[in-house]
Amino acid sequence: MPAISEKYTWQEALSNLITDPKELLSLLELDANLLDPAIAASLAFPLKVPRAFLSRIEKGNSEDPLLKQILPLGVELDQAAGFEQDPLQEANVNPVPGLLHKYQGRVLVTLTSACAVHCRYCFRRHFPYTDNNPGMQGWEKIVDYIRKDNSIHEVILSGGDPLAVSDKLLGVFSDKLALIPHLKRLRLHTRLPVVLPERVTSEFINWITSVKLQTVMVIHANHPREINAEVTTAMLRLREAGVTLLNQSVLLRGVNDSAQTLIELSEVLFAAGVNPYYLHTLDKVQGSQHFDLPRERAHELQAEIAGFLPGYMVPRLVCEEPGKPAKTLL
């Protein structure tokens, strides 16, 4: 296995992800008892993590908050009351494959089902991506839908991870959007710049600078240790390119359920030019029950961090309820 070097492109890194639980445990010097459950859970939702991300995880520590986000556990296979396959009932707001139109003025588009990392808490872990992966032929239908509804002002590219798509194809798609007069903004929801900051190449910066809409990038980081020097550099480059940078986190038991962690997260994000946007409570998807926290604890944490940080560094604590006109502010 060649070592990761500066010369490794992001495409190479993506085609060389860690997907074998045995390799993960061995590289991180973790207890072999974790192997059988990891294999069983990865059959339901595969393990996926970029190699370079492992350097941010402490070896031999099965409680590491970054590890917990990626390591498949046996508990994921338990059936827990109230945890469903499609907790957000997204199938109801899916007028054309690859497009969700749930909220006024904005549509969410999934250009790909691929992600660079599989987050164990992911609420899309059971989403029928293969049925909902538009492919390039499907793009015309998506663009038609947007063109015909002039109440839509913003297109949100979301997950899968839109940055798993090549710059060339992103360019093809954004060129189509540029011809729609009622569009104002293009937003990208992505975890790729966090887990694989080399994705933010000069070509990517050139593409995003060329987009004829205002651009917003919402990164998804949950713990301050995810924001290392490379991530910070990538963020500062994007900011220089005029991209509005926001972060969305999920409140996860054992990962970021302490005021100190959340305060530090806001601090490192803001220092990297990223404004905290949302702190989501967990969507109750089957297999994620071990990350859940009581609602009262979420309120307590929010109150605690608000007592320490300037208002603009406090993320909005929200949850998502099917059928509501916006995310619910808690």
Ligand X SMILES: *Cc1c(COP(=O)(O)O)cnc(C)c1O
Binding residues for ligand X, per CB under 6 A?
A: 100, 102-103, 106, 108, 156, 326-327
Q: Which does 106 bind (CB under 5 to 8 A by kind): ligand X, ligand SF4, none?
A: ligand X
Closer Cβ to ligand SF4, 142 or 250, answer by number = 250
Closer Cβ to ligand SF4, 69 or 215, answer by number: 69
Q: What are phi and psi of 80, to 5 degrees?
A: -115, 140
Contact string 66-105 vs ligand SF4 (x = CB under 6 A): ----------------------------------------
The footprint of ligand SF4 on residues 114-143 (CB under 6 A) is 115, 117-119, 122, 124
d(CA 327, CA 250): 14
Cβ-based neighbour number of residue 80 at 10 Å: 15
The string of DSSP letters for 240-301 reads HTT-EEEEEEE--TTTT-SHHHHHHHHHHHHHTT-EEEEEEPPP-BTT-GGG---HHHHHHH
Q: How large is the C-alpha radius of gyration of the chain?
A: 19
CA distances from 303 to 141, 211, 223, 224 (A): 45, 39, 19, 19
Which residue's CB is nearer to ligand X, number 106 or number 284?
Answer: 106
For 216, the enclosing helix (H) or strand (E) is strand 214-219
Shortest approach of ligand SF4 to residue 314 CB, angstroms? 22
For ligand X, give the closer residue by CB, 53 or 173: 173
21, 50, 65, 159: residue in contact with ligand SF4 (rule CB under 6 A): 159
Q: Nearest 5°: CA angle at 208, between 202 and 210?
A: 100
Total binding residues toward ligand SF4, as defined by CB under 6 A: 9
Do residues 146 and 152 lie in contact, with contact meaning Cβ atoms separated by under 8 Å? yes
Cβ proximity to ligand SF4, 186 vs 282, nearer residue: 282
CB of 185 to ligand X, least distance (A): 10
The interface partner of residue 100, options being ligand X, ligand SF4, none and the CB cut-off 5 to 8 Å by kind, is: ligand X
Is the Cβ of residue 122 or residue 177 nearer to ligand SF4 in the bound state? 122
Q: Distances from the Cα of 162 to the Cαs of 3, 7, 330, in angstroms?
A: 26, 23, 29
Q: Taking CB within 5 to 8 Å according to partner kind, which of ligand X, ligand SF4, none is near residue 102?
A: ligand X
